[in-house]
Amino acid sequence: MNHRKKVKSDMELYFLGTNAGVPSTERNVTSIALRLLEERRSFWLFDCGEGTQHQILRSPLKLSKLEKVFITHLHGDHLFGLPGLLSSRAYQGGTSPLTVYGPPGLKTYLDITLELSQSRVNYELIVEEHTGGVIFEDDTFKVEMALLDHRIDSYGYRVTEKDRAGKLNGELLEQFGIKPGPLYGKLKNGESVETPEGRIIHPSEVIGEPKKGRIVTILGDTRPCSNVIPLAVNADILVHEATFLHELAKTAHEYHHSTALQAAEAAKEAGVGQLIITHFSSRYKNEEELLKLQDEARSVFPNTYTAKEHELYPVPDGIRK
C-alpha cells in the first residue's frame, strides 16, 4: 500500500501501534520506536499504549536496548503500557539506566502504579517532567518539546541530530602513505599530520563535507495549532496524527484531533521531507479504508505514507528538499 523506496539508514522509525483510542483486531494503540543503530546502538520509544511490550516481542527491538521513553500526553491509549514495560525490562536484560520524559503527572502515575503493584525495577529509572523547551541534549542529539492543542496537555517532540563530521578519504590517504591508525584519529580531531615523506596533510584535504544532521518530529494528539509548524519546520520526517478523513472535520475538531488533510497542510507549510500519518480511528478497519486517508493527504502533500505496524521507515540523508 505504501510503495516506499527501500533505503538503508542507521536511523529508523518502527511503528508498534497506530490506532486511536482503543486497540482493534487489526491495530494496536499508539507507540513508535526510533532506532538509533550506529552510534548509540539503542532505541527510543515515543508513547507506550497498552500492549506495547507484546508488540516489541514480535519485533526486532530488544527492551535491553531501550534508552529513553517520551510520553506525549497522559491519555491511556498512549500510556497504559508503560508500567508493564518498565517492569519487564529487567527480565529481558535491561540493566542500564532508563529515562522517561513527559508532562507533569507522569511521575505520580508511575510511582503509584509501580508501588501498588509491588513491581521491581532493578535498574536506575529516571522520570523527568517537562512543559516545553529543550529537554535533552548531548554531543549527538537535541530533543525539544512544545505544547499542542488537545483535551489535556499534549506535546510534540522534535529530535535533531547534530551535524556529523565528513568521512576520511581513505584512497587519498593511502596515496599519501598514511594507513589506518593513530594518524586517522588525529585528522578526525582536526589535527594536521605528517606523511612518511615529510609532507604535512591538513584535515581539510582529506575529510569530506560535514553531513547535515537529520530531524524527526513526532506529534502527540492535536488539533491544528500554532506550535505544529515550529516543531516540524524542515524536518526530514513528520509523524502527525490523522484520526479522521476531512469529511469528519467537525468531529475531529470537537474531539481535539486532526484530519489527514490537516496533517498534509501542516507538512506542506513546514517544508518537511516526508509525512507519515498515524493514530487512525477504529472506523477505518482495513488497508483499503486507510488508503483513503493516504490519498486525501497526498492531494496536498504527495510524499505521504500511512504508518503500518511492524514496518521500518528509514530516515535517510538528504530527504528534505
Q: Are residues 81 and 177 in the same domain?
A: no
Question: What was the pLDDT predicted at 229?
Answer: 98
- Judge whether 321 lies within some domain: no
List, in sequence order, every residue forming a beta bridge with 15; answer none if it has no partner.
Answer: 32
Question: Which residue is catalytic, options 77, 149, 153, 236?
Answer: 77
**Strands, DSSP E only, in 65-214?**
66-70, 98-102, 125-129, 133-137, 141-147, 155-161, 193-194, 200-201
Q: State pTM to two decimals.
A: 0.89
Q: Are residues 33 and 140 in the same domain?
A: yes
- The DSSP secondary structure of 161-185, one letter per residue, reads EPPBPPPB-HHHHHHTTPPSSHHHH
| Residue 221: closest CA among 259, 252, 257 | 257
Q: Which residue has the cell 556529523?
A: 164
> How far apart are the C-alpha atoms of 124 and 180, rounded to whole Å?
39
Report the binding-site residues for Zn(2+): 73, 75, 77-78, 150, 221, 279
Question: What was the pLDDT predicted at 6?
Answer: 59
Q: Are residues 181 and 290 in the same domain?
A: no
Q: Are residues 151 and 193 in the same domain?
A: no
Q: Are residues 59 and 184 in the same domain?
A: no
> How far apart are the C-alpha atoms of 296 and 126, rounded to whole Å?
41
Question: What was the pLDDT predicted at 268?
Answer: 98
- Judge whether 275 lies within some domain: yes
- Judge whether 123 lies within some domain: yes
Query: Digits of tens for pLDDT over the chain (321 positions)?
Result: 555 555 668 999 999 999 999 999 999 999 999 999 877 899 999 999 999 999 999 999 999 999 999 999 999 999 999 999 999 998 899 999 999 999 999 999 999 999 999 998 999 999 999 999 999 999 999 999 999 999 999 999 999 999 987 788 888 888 888 888 888 888 877 889 888 888 898 888 888 888 889 999 999 999 999 999 999 999 999 999 999 999 999 999 999 999 999 999 999 999 999 999 999 999 999 999 999 999 999 999 999 999 999 999 999 875 554
Q: Are residues 159 and 28 in the same domain?
A: yes
**Residue 94's CATH number:** 3.60.15.10
Count of Cβ atoms closer than 10 Å to residue 195 Cβ = 14
> How far apart are the C-alpha atoms of 206 and 28, rounded to whole Å?
49
Amino acid present at 285: K
Q: Where in the sequence is the domain holding 228, given as residue range(s)? A: 11-164+211-314
Helices (H) and strands (E) in the chain, counts: 10, 16
Which secondary-structure segment (H or E) carries 228? helix 228-232
> How far apart are the C-alpha atoms of 253 and 75, rounded to whole Å?
17
Q: Are residues 215 and 82 in the same domain?
A: yes
Q: Are residues 178 and 53 in the same domain?
A: no
- Judge whether 53 lies within some domain: yes
CA angle 242, 243, 248 (to 5 degrees): 105
Question: What was the pLDDT predicted at 184?
Answer: 83
Contact 221, 73 (CB under 8 A): yes
Question: What was the pLDDT predicted at 169?
Answer: 82
Q: Does 295 participate in catalysis according to the annotation?
A: no
Question: What was the pLDDT predicted at 8?
Answer: 65
| SS3 state of residue 275 | strand
As a dihedral over the C-alpha atoms of residue 239, residue 240, residue 241, residue 242, rounded to 10 degrees, the angle is -110
Q: Are residues 49 and 192 in the same domain?
A: no
